[in-house]
Amino acid sequence: MRYSPLVAVYGLDFLGVKAKHSIIDRSLTLLLSAAIMETSVSTLKGVSNRVRPNGSNDHSFLSGHTARAFMLAEFLNQEYKHKSIWFSVAAYSLASATGVFRAYNKAHWVSDIVAGAGFGMLSTKLAYLVYPKIKQIVSNKKSANLTIRPSFYNGANGFSLTYQLKK
């Protein structure tokens, strides 16, 4: 459920509903957003030592599932809010449901979920602010080539990105 906005961003484009940015720009922005979010979440989980409500471990703060869900909801919002508010409503509803299920399953405290949502959204907003500046710096000096390939390994689906700078 938390990855539905990601599928929607690329699926809508495939169906002819054009996103705000090119596939290369949005993919690189998504990678930057994910790097910011994953670094923030893993750092805070490592230093907070907050015990989960179910007592399973001390990595409760902050909710990584919720952070990922809201990062992707904001990603969809950034790419399709100009088309219809309903894309954003659907994405944020799914992200909220992820947080509710984390609390229901006693994996996180409500404050963990709220913090995860905030870090997820802020990661994407920050990526959309920073990426154009990075792109400008890189494009003034070199050309680039991006390749996106689907992958399947040990029963898991995914994709790989190869970014090559040329002088």
- Per domain, the residue ranges of the chain are 4-141
pLDDT tens for the chain, 167 residues long, are 778 888 888 899 889 999 999 999 999 999 999 999 999 998 888 888 898 999 898 888 999 899 999 999 999 999 999 999 999 999 999 999 999 999 999 989 899 999 999 999 999 999 999 999 888 877 776 556 767 677 666 776 666 667 676 65
Structure tokens at 147: 């390749």
What is the rounded CA–CA span in Å between residue 30 and residue 128? 9
Residues in the chain: 167
**pTM for the predicted model, two decimal places:** 0.79
Dihedral angle, C-alpha 132, 137, 140, 146, nearest 10 ° = -70
